[in-house]
Amino acid sequence: LPLLILLLILLALLPLYIIYRPPHAVIRSMAEKYPDTLWEIPPPPLPNTNKNKDTEGKEAPKEKLIALTIDDAPSAYTLDILHVLQEYNARATFFLIGSQIPGREGILHTLVKSGMELGNHAMHDEPSVSLGSEVLEQEMQEVEGVIARVYEEVGVERPRDGRGVVRKWFRPGSGFFSGWMRELVRGLGYRIVLGSVYPHDAQIGWAGVNAWHVRSLVREGSIVVMHDRRSWTVEGLRRVLPVLKGRGFRVVGLGEAM
């Protein structure tokens, strides 16, 4: 009987464990099912033997990239996060909540001047899927206006794809999306970005635990999701970035990774 109870407890905890530490097969399955959403950095095309050689004819070393994304910006902690990123020569894409921007426009200018990228996280910290399409479109357009204005005022060109089209990233609040949302986002020239490594740092306030989560799951091509507006994020990054650098990874924003 005790063994049976233990098995039942383990079965009950299994879904929670999968949510907390999803196997890579689950991430890959979601990426295949929803190819218009971004879960990981896609693998690079097969190397061109001419372009991939250095001046001595040797194979140029392949970069191992990880995309870092920071949700819920800007906040009182944003510049502290930026300083840690700069300390380890890392970059990130900061997803902006529109209602947090007034009075912090200068922070956004500093981010862009420092080589960081801005993404769209709608207007409020709430599940975007619970909004109607008209409301979400209005919110996205409002945040897009701010993003475009910041890049223009700073004089920095937004990241573009190979066709010269501006890359626009949207992360839905709470990470949930639907069919109508995918259609709406695509129509606005955006792409939904989820991620493959998420330490649930929005809820878990232990920097050491969050850092362990990232270090243990990250791999080449990972998109890491972490959060601004939390006092423990700076310490979490301090425990993650030097380890990733030591493993030979380069931490960049989404536009640079793609």
Q: How many domains does the chain have?
A: 1
Q: Looking at the domain assignment, is residue 52 inside a domain?
A: no
What is the Cα–Cα distance from 61 to 19, expressed in whole angstroms?
35
Q: Looking at the domain assignment, is residue 55 inside a domain?
A: no
Q: What digits encode the pLDDT tens for the residues 218-227?
A: 999 999 999 9
Angle at 113 between CA 111 and CA 118, to 5 degrees: 45
Q: Looking at the domain assignment, is residue 14 inside a domain?
A: no
Contact call for residues 122 and 98 (beta carbons, < 8 A): yes
Pick from 103, 105, 100, 102: nearest CA to 122: 100
What mean pLDDT comes out for the span 110-133? 97
Q: How many percent of the chain have pLDDT more than 90?
A: 82
Q: Looking at the domain assignment, is residue 53 inside a domain?
A: no
Torsion of CA 152, 76, 80, 217, to 10 degrees: -90
> pLDDT value at position 48?
55
Q: Looking at the domain assignment, is residue 5 inside a domain?
A: no
The distance between the two most distant Cα atoms of the chain, rounded to a whole number of Å, is 70
What mean pLDDT comes out for the span 148-160? 97
State how far Cα 169 lies from the chain centre: 9
What mean pLDDT comes out for the span 88-101? 98
* Domain region containing 199: 24-43+62-257
Q: Looking at the domain assignment, is residue 111 inside a domain?
A: yes
pLDDT higher than 80, residue 6: no
DSSP helix/strand/coil, 141: helix
Tokens (6 digits) for 75: 């906040």
pLDDT higher than 80, residue 252: yes
Q: What digits encode the pLDDT tens for the residues 169-204?
A: 999 999 999 999 999 999 999 999 999 999 999 999
pLDDT higher than 80, residue 17: no
> pLDDT value at position 63?
85
> pLDDT value at position 15?
80
Q: Looking at the domain assignment, is residue 16 inside a domain?
A: no
Contacts of 22 (CB under 8 A, 6+ apart): none
- CATH at residue 191: 3.20.20.370
SS (H, E, C) 59-110: ECCCCEEEEEEEEEECCCCHHHHHHHHHHCCCCCEEEECHHHCCCCHHHHHH
Q: How many percent of the chain have pLDDT more than 70?
A: 93
What mean pLDDT comes out for the span 150-174? 96
> What's the one-letter identity of residue 190?
Y
> pLDDT value at position 49?
47
Q: What digits encode the pLDDT tens for the residues 23-68?
A: 999 999 999 999 999 999 998 765 554 455 554 555 556 789 999 9
> pLDDT value at position 11?
73
Contact call for residues 52 and 60 (beta carbons, < 8 A): yes
What mean pLDDT comes out for the span 14-22? 82
- Mean pLDDT, the chain, whole residue set: 92
Q: Looking at the domain assignment, is residue 68 inside a domain?
A: yes
